[in-house]
Structure 1
Amino acid sequence: MPADAKFPDMDAPIVRKKLSDQVFERLWAMIQSGELTPGDAMPSERALMERFGVGRPAVREALQSMANKGLISISHGERSKVNKLTPGIAFDQVDDIAKLLLSSEPSNIENLKQFRKILEAGSVQITARSCSAEEIAELRGLVEAQRSKLGQDRAFIEADIAFHVAIARMTGNPLLQAVTQAMLSWLSEYYKPVLHWSGRENTTLHEHGKIVDLLERHDVAGAVTMMGDHLERSDPLYEPN
């Protein structure tokens, strides 16, 4: 493919289509081509107006669209800056659609719980093989932080999420971390602890502690089995609204 077929001539006058959409496409092409890289300041509004031959409203609308997609950060009184693209930014873009999908079809909650078991079994397997003493200490600290939230349903589930996301992060795979973070955030909307057994929080803490013990021993099979049992036990805590 010729280079000019992949990237448009960004100095050509913009015609037809919505002006702000065309400005967005040009700015996106500047990022794709490497003309703008993470950490770079965006050109001033006036410079973009002159370069593309459009008015300030089109430029501002395009910049806001880029900010909404996580491509740039806009700070009051400063030039916008190009963000480093991450898996987290990508999943943020599907957040509302995923939540709508779950709320519109209750069976998708069960599908998500099944997906969680598959994903977290893989994460704990990878982490068990290589986790360091520092990472084990971090996980034990997260268990104790969760213990301090006993009796605080929302804070307790947030601490729970932090523990599971940490295990995903320790795989060294940022996609696993981002998917786990997004998945648990969506699932937490359906957390119904008051409907189930008493002592559930202490059971969770005990099981988290056992998972850490198995990770510390690099017991891959044991950690996978314990994580599976843990998630199977917690399944009823998440139900459709």
Structure 2
Amino acid sequence: MPTESSQLLGRILPFIRERGYTAGERIPSERELAERFGVSRGLLRETLSTLETLRVVERRPQSGIYLRDVAREASLDMLVIESDLGMPVSPADVKDLNEFRSMLEVQSVRLACSRRTDADLAQIDEVLATSRARLAAGQSLSAEDARFHIALCAASGNKLIQRAANSFWLASRARRERYFDDPANARRSLAQHTALRDAVAAGDTTRAMDILGDHLGNVERFWMAQVGPDAGGAATSPGIAPR
């Protein structure tokens, strides 16, 4: 069940975005925000502390509350918050997310081809076995898709890659569910996951890169078709001007 703070966060973020505040601009004071949303100052301060931690706002003593440069400074966890709140994404956001995912996974797979351990492969194999069972039962592969890619990133042996990948997959949860509504996407994805596992196990970097390229290309084409061809649409994060 959402906390009072998370519920308030879901009201403040759209308010900031809709008012069109820009980076460095002062937003309403604690008193004004508390009155506007009908909440206590204590609850508001708790929510503002979350926004500070996410590097969305900055509270300056004796001055006020200012919006930070969200596009450049906000935490990756901000993506997760926006997704959980159901905030829409623009074509430009989808393009950025796809490029970010590509950078993470290309490097992960390159490293995994030389660093994967028997334990890494066992984890991937367990995910694939569960995926096959779910596909046979006509169930969604959304959660298993995330588990596969997180396991693949873990096989890189780089903990920072794993952290970034985890944030990405949490942020893409709703979009994955939509993608896997189509059984054809599930079948194709599982076949590519299986082939990618085999290439990584064999240490065949060239083959793994080819499979990953096809896999990422399928997903990117699907999402760009959903949001439209114009990658310069209005961005959806607070304080980000249209690109």
Partner in structure 2 of residue 199 of structure 1: 184
Partner in structure 2 of residue 31 of structure 1: none
Segments of 5+ residues of structure 2 without an aligned counterpart are 1-29, 31-43, 54-74, 229-243
Partner in structure 2 of residue 3 of structure 1: none
Question: Pick from 124, 127, 133: which aligns with 2:109?
Answer: 124
Question: Pick from 139, 147, 157: which aligns with 1:152?
Answer: 139
Deviation, structure 1 residue 66: 8.2
Partner in structure 1 of residue 212 of structure 2: 227
Q: Distance in 2 between matches of 1:144 and 1:230?
A: 19
Q: Distance in 2 between matches of 1:126 and 1:202?
A: 27
Q: Cα distance 1:111–1:100, how it changes in 2: closer, same or farther (>3 A)?
A: farther
Q: Distance in 1 between matches of 2:89 and 2:51?
A: 25
Q: Cα distance 1:99–1:114, how it changes in 2: closer, same or farther (>3 A)?
A: farther
Q: Distance in 2 between matches of 1:91 and 1:194?
A: 24
1:211–1:227 CA contact under 8 A, matched in 2:
yes
| 1:98-137 equivalences in 2 (<5 Å) | 103=88, 105-137=90-122
Q: Cα distance 1:212–1:91, how it changes in 2: closer, same or farther (>3 A)?
A: same
Larger RCO (CA under 8 A, 6+ residues apart): 2
**Amino acid in the other structure paired with 1:193:** Y
Partner in structure 2 of residue 139 of structure 1: 124
Question: Pick from 172, 176, 180: which aligns with 2:157?
Answer: 172
**Amino acid in the other structure paired with 1:116:** R
| 1:44-63 equivalences in 2 (<5 Å) | none
Q: Does 1:211 align with 2:196?
A: yes
**Amino acid in the other structure paired with 2:216:** L
1:165–1:181 CA contact under 8 A, matched in 2:
yes
Q: Distance in 2 between matches of 1:114 and 1:92?
A: 17
1:123–1:176 CA contact under 8 A, matched in 2:
yes
**Amino acid in the other structure paired with 2:114:** R
**Amino acid in the other structure paired with 1:163:** F
Q: Distance in 2 between matches of 1:69 and 1:147?
A: 43
Deviation, structure 1 residue 100: 7.5
Q: Cα distance 1:171–1:193, how it changes in 2: closer, same or farther (>3 A)?
A: closer
1:124–1:168 CA contact under 8 A, matched in 2:
yes
Deviation, structure 1 residue 65: 8.8
Classify the secondary structure of the residue corresponding to 1:147: helix
1:117–1:231 CA contact under 8 A, matched in 2:
yes
Deviation, structure 1 residue 111: 2.0
Segments of 5+ residues of structure 1 without an aligned counterpart are 1-17, 19-60, 71-89
Count of residues in correspondence between the two structures: 164
Q: Distance in 2 between matches of 1:201 and 1:194?
A: 6
Deviation, structure 1 residue 211: 0.6
Q: Cα distance 1:103–1:147, how it changes in 2: closer, same or farther (>3 A)?
A: same
Question: Over the residues paired in the alignment, what is the CA RMSD in angstroms?
Answer: 3.6
CA deviations 1:15-62 (Å, max 9, x no partner) are xxx9xxxxxxxxxxxxxxxxxxxxxxxxxxxxxxxxxxxxxxxxxx99
Identity of aligned residues (%): 20
2:108–2:153 CA contact under 8 A, matched in 1:
yes
Q: Distance in 1 between matches of 2:227 and 2:85?
A: 12
**Normalized against structure 1, the TM-score is what?**
0.55
